[in-house]
Structure 1
């Protein structure tokens, strides 16, 4: 099963070239948890998918993990391992599997901008 909400929309044109360059640089792996039933996911993930597409991130570096509502909270692959409590959650890992950035549910900017800022700050502090 895949996330339908991770289908790109047309919002990539509004993104800064620097954001797209940051997302496309390196060998980042994007792990996306969401649910097609989730309003936040339906609102945010299509624009994020468009940004990844515009940044030239190949599909094999993007993994989606559909989440369902269970009696004890969120359920799905990787939910426990990654401590997923809210969706959408996007984890960016380096080629070695180290977590470099994480977006959880909402921020003051779109997912792509948030992650690009976190990745750039991480690089600056490395």
Structure 2
């Protein structure tokens, strides 16, 4: 199952900063939790999908985790294991499966920019 909202926005007129695209193009796996029913996801994930496409991130490094609303909160694959309370949530893992960056629900910048800043810090300290 995939998240339709993660499909790249074909009308994205936003040009992505070269530094952002370079940061996304590392040896990372992007795990994305969201719901096509979720307004925040509908607003943010298409642009993030466009950024991943612009950075040439291969589809096999982007994992979709659709989330539903249950009686006790969010439900879906990996929700409990990754502590997903709010969506969209994007967890970035390195080649060894270690979490190196996380975006949760909203920020003052787009998801791609937010994660690129965290990934730049990882590369500097690595």
Q: TM-score range by the shorter chain?
A: over 0.9
The farther-off stretch of 16-25 and 75-84 is 16-25
The answer for the alignment partner of 1:97 in structure 2 is: 97
Q: How many Å separate the matches in 1 of 2:123 and 2:89?
A: 21
4+ runs deviating over 2 angstroms: 10-13
Match in the other structure for 1:20: 21
Q: 2:13 and 2:95 mapped to 1: Cα distance?
A: 25
How large is the RMSD of aligned CA atoms in angstroms? 1.0
Q: Number of aligned pairs?
A: 125
Structure 1 unmatched ranges of 5 or more: none
After superposition, the C-alpha distances for 1:39-71 in whole angstroms (9 at most, x for unaligned) are 000000000000000001000000000000000
Q: Distance in 1 between matches of 2:2 and 2:19?
A: 29
TM-score, normalised on structure 1? Answer: 0.96
Structure 1 position 124, deviation (Å): 1.3
TM-score (norm 2): 0.96
Structure 2 segments unaligned to the other structure (5+ residues) = none
Greater helix proportion: 1
